[in-house]
Chain A
Amino acid sequence: MIRIENISKDFGNKKTGVVHALKNISFTLRDGEITGLLGVNGAGKSTLLRLIYGLQTPTTGDIFVDDINVQKNPDSARQRLGVLPDDTGLYKRLTARENIHYFGELQGLSPADLSKNSQELISLLAMENIAERRADGFSLGERMKTALARAIVHQPQHILLDEPTNGLDVITTRAVRHMLLTLRDQGRCVLFSSHLMHEVGGLCDRILIIAGGEIVADGSVAEIIAQARTATLEDAFIKLSQVTERTSGQVSEQGESHVN
């Protein structure tokens, strides 16, 4: 379970202009559920995820992972998290298996668990053909599968994925989707962000729509469609996002030009 309590995040300063990336957000992510995080570019999805895994600190509010305060105990919180960040890179001179093992070891897995878990993931994601190959020259799909396996090799209770199926082919996307369902059925808490409505609609038990730094909708696909009074999830998403964006203006979710 991940609890977000009154989280706000501002970037910038008076000189460069303050951007309110997140505005007083609260929600709870439950175990045994896949939650989809939807939002247009710059809505604050990546910022929210970065706050949860503790690489950025909120301006106000608290985040708890199984009652562990992320700001106070970031390392213990991270032990319970498996994270696939946006645009993550591999170690090119290591094989796919070595990449996965390295992160497993950093998570403190025993050698026996490490080889068992990584072998399971390699089979689940159909990576046998690339397991012993060095990552240099991997296709986008191969990179993504390796990064995904690396992120969850320690079998974390909570899994955060930032656009995990971005640019993947149909077969790989299906493998990833299948894996997410397996993880949910094991009782894990899964949060993933995406731009793909059909994917979110087909996979998620619950959807959060974030726009202008606020949660503008929270519920199942049917509930959100009903709330927006539209025919499809896509229409609902556009309608809800646009209303908020128009009222609050565009915000950036990239931290690079901002001072934390």
Chain B
Amino acid sequence: MLTKQNIAMALVVLRKELKDALRDKRALRMAFLPPLYFVAIFVGLVIFAVNIANDKKVAGVNSIPVYVEGEQNLPELVAWLREQGADIKPIESGAFQQVKDKKIDFALILSDEAKQKRAKGESAPVWLVYDGANQKLSSSIGFVRSQIYVWGSRVGAVNLMARGIAPDVGSPIQLREENIADEQKMSVYLLASVPLTLLLAAFIGSVGFSADMTAGERERRSLESLLITPAATFSIYLGKWLTSTLLTIVILIIQLALLAIAFRFLPFNQLGLRVDVDAVDLIKIFWVLLPVVFFAVALQLSLSIFAKSFKDAQSLIAALVFIPMLLNFYTMFNPGMFYEWWLWVPVLGQAVVIKEVLLGGTIAAFAFWKFWLVAIAITVGTFWLGIKQLRRPKIIYG
């Protein structure tokens, strides 16, 4: 099959198809704009997440207004809250009623009783009044509550020390909490979307070209004339496959280059993520994606041969999008899950490995060889199927 003559013919087909493809503005737009859109959206969302995070850090707690009735009764506690960044808004009286009337969200009530008990060294009762049905308040209430506990334990510790007792006695447990919700979680999802879009680019980047070279050839009724030439079906198919493969590789390189720039300049550290992607990592990712390109293009060509027109082919191949999407979503929503056999599943294995590379993990070299073995098997199979189809009278004249 791989004779000199066949390869020469395949190159003739490749040259013509490339020329044709580069003049096809519709297919070019379809192929080269999505990577630009994706990287732009990705950068936009990361910057958005960083801004939210910074807002909360710099101005975040300050922006929590805390209504306090009876500030003069426990001035040390109020001073502590203020120190921690609360925006104290004193209320003369009737805080309870105001919360009930929904005039204010919540209030801290420090009664005279608290002042008296505090003076005697007893536990001072303070009231935190809020409407539990209001979900928006949970973080503000949580802040005030935890600060009161902290202040309480600090005062308690000082009291114990004054009596010659180690403060640890009074606090057998020290609970530390770390909430990774909101912006951090968002950035993890954002990062997980990178393998998906890369795999999509590899998988369907050149769908437009593949459809035009097969179904389009049928639609404009040039397939019969093409097959009457002495060029072997293998050469024609190989030429078309090389065209789509080359174009997809260019699309991938563009997307990877744009991502590299994005990774270089985006402040992931502000999101608490360590994203350290260098040139070697990008080459690794490219090397992982290349086998996907090989078999995906063969799949595109062999599937769209069955379509009678360019549009039919597009809708037929559009179904292919679901393969990388489903497998990727699975890994996105089950981040900790991994089985060895996943590496044998095309696309799924790649998704896991790309995410690993992005997060600085190490990958066993055999993973790459598994990808290639699987890809070559699928490519050869679909090639064979496509070549068998191309000369069927039903395809030529149907």
- Decide if B228 touches A94 in the complex (CB within 8 Å): no
Smallest CB-CB separation from B13: which chain A residue? A106
List, in ascending order, chain B residues with CB within 8 A of A76's CB.
230
Partner of A88, one of B23, B24, B222, B391: B222
Q: In whole Å, how far is A255's beta carbon from the nearest beta carbon of chain B?
A: 5
List, in ascending order, chain B residues with CB within 8 A of A256's CB.
394, 397-398
- Which residues of A line the B interface, CB within 8 A? 50, 53, 55-56, 75-76, 78-79, 81, 83, 85, 87-94, 98, 102-103, 105-108, 134, 147, 150-151, 254-256, 259-260
- Decide if B393 touches A83 in the complex (CB within 8 Å): no
List, in ascending order, chain B residues with CB within 8 A of A134's CB.
23
Q: In whole Å, how far is B309's beta carbon from the nearest beta carbon of chain A?
A: 12
- Decide if B220 touches A98 in the complex (CB within 8 Å): no
- Decide if A53 touches B394 in the complex (CB within 8 Å): no
Within 8 A of A (CB), among B1-58: 5, 9, 12-13, 16, 19-20, 23-24
Q: Is the interface of B mostly helix, strand, loop or mixed?
A: helix
Q: In whole Å, how far is B103's beta carbon from the nearest beta carbon of chain A?
A: 70
List, in ascending order, chain A residues with CB within 8 A of B24's CB.
93
List, in ascending order, chain B residues with CB within 8 A of A259's CB.
394
- Decide if B394 touches A260 in the complex (CB within 8 Å): yes
B312 at the interface (CB under 8 A from A): no
- Decide if A85 touches B394 in the complex (CB within 8 Å): no
Q: In whole Å, how far is A246's beta carbon from the nearest beta carbon of chain B?
A: 28
Report the separation of the CA atoms of residues A85 and B5 in the bound assembly, to the nearest whole angstrom.
26
Knowing A94-B20, A106-B12, A255-B393 are in contact, say whether A78-B230 is a contact too (CB < 8 A): yes
Q: In whole Å, how far is B354's beta carbon from the nearest beta carbon of chain A?
A: 35
B229 at the interface (CB under 8 A from A): yes
- Decide if B20 touches A83 in the complex (CB within 8 Å): no
Knowing A87-B221, A98-B19, A255-B397 are in contact, say whether A103-B391 is a contact too (CB < 8 A): no
List, in ascending order, chain A residues with CB within 8 A of B373's CB.
none
- Decide if B19 touches A105 in the complex (CB within 8 Å): no
Q: In whole Å, how far is B225's beta carbon from the nearest beta carbon of chain A?
A: 5
- Decide if B393 touches A89 in the complex (CB within 8 Å): no
Report the separation of the CA atoms of residues A77 and B20 in the bound assembly, to the nearest whole angstrom.
29
- Decide if A78 touches B12 in the complex (CB within 8 Å): no
- Decide if A83 touches B232 in the complex (CB within 8 Å): no
- Decide if B225 touches A92 in the complex (CB within 8 Å): no
Partner of A55, one of B5, B19, B220, B396: B396
List, in ascending order, chain A residues with CB within 8 A of B12's CB.
102, 105-106
Report the separation of the CA atoms of residues A76 and B231 in the bound assembly, to the nearest whole angstrom.
10
List, in ascending order, chain B residues with CB within 8 A of A55's CB.
224, 227-228, 391, 393, 396
Report the separation of the CA atoms of residues A85 and B222 in the bound assembly, to the nearest whole angstrom.
10
Q: What are 22 A-B pairs with beta-carbon distances under 8 A?
A: A53-B228, A55-B224, A55-B391, A75-B230, A79-B230, A83-B228, A88-B222, A88-B224, A92-B220, A94-B16, A94-B19, A103-B225, A105-B16, A106-B231, A107-B230, A108-B5, A108-B230, A134-B23, A147-B225, A255-B393, A255-B397, A260-B393
Knowing A94-B16, A102-B16 are in contact, say whether A85-B229 is a contact too (CB < 8 A): no
Within 8 A of A (CB), among B363-398: 391-394, 396-398
List, in ascending order, chain B residues with CB within 8 A of A260's CB.
392-394
Report the separation of the CA atoms of residues A107 and B228 in the bound assembly, to the nearest whole angstrom.
10
- 20 more CB-based (< 8 A) A-B contacts, given A88-B221, A150-B225: A55-B391, A55-B393, A75-B232, A78-B230, A81-B228, A87-B221, A89-B220, A91-B16, A91-B220, A94-B16, A94-B23, A98-B16, A103-B225, A106-B12, A106-B230, A108-B230, A147-B225, A255-B393, A255-B397, A260-B393
- Decide if B392 touches A103 in the complex (CB within 8 Å): no
Report the separation of the CA atoms of residues A254 and B398 in the bound assembly, to the nearest whole angstrom.
9
List, in ascending order, chain B residues with CB within 8 A of A107's CB.
229-230
Q: In whole Å, how far is B62's beta carbon from the nearest beta carbon of chain A?
A: 62
Smallest CB-CB separation from A86: which chain B residue? B224
Q: In whole Å, how far is A54's beta carbon from the nearest beta carbon of chain B?
A: 8
- Decide if B221 touches A103 in the complex (CB within 8 Å): no
List, in ascending order, chain A residues with CB within 8 A of B5's CB.
108
Most buried by A among B9, B24, B393, B394: B393
Report the separation of the CA atoms of residues A81 and B227 in the bound assembly, to the nearest whole angstrom.
12
Report the separation of the CA atoms of residues A125 and B153 in the bound assembly, to the nearest whole angstrom.
101
- Decide if A151 touches B225 in the complex (CB within 8 Å): yes
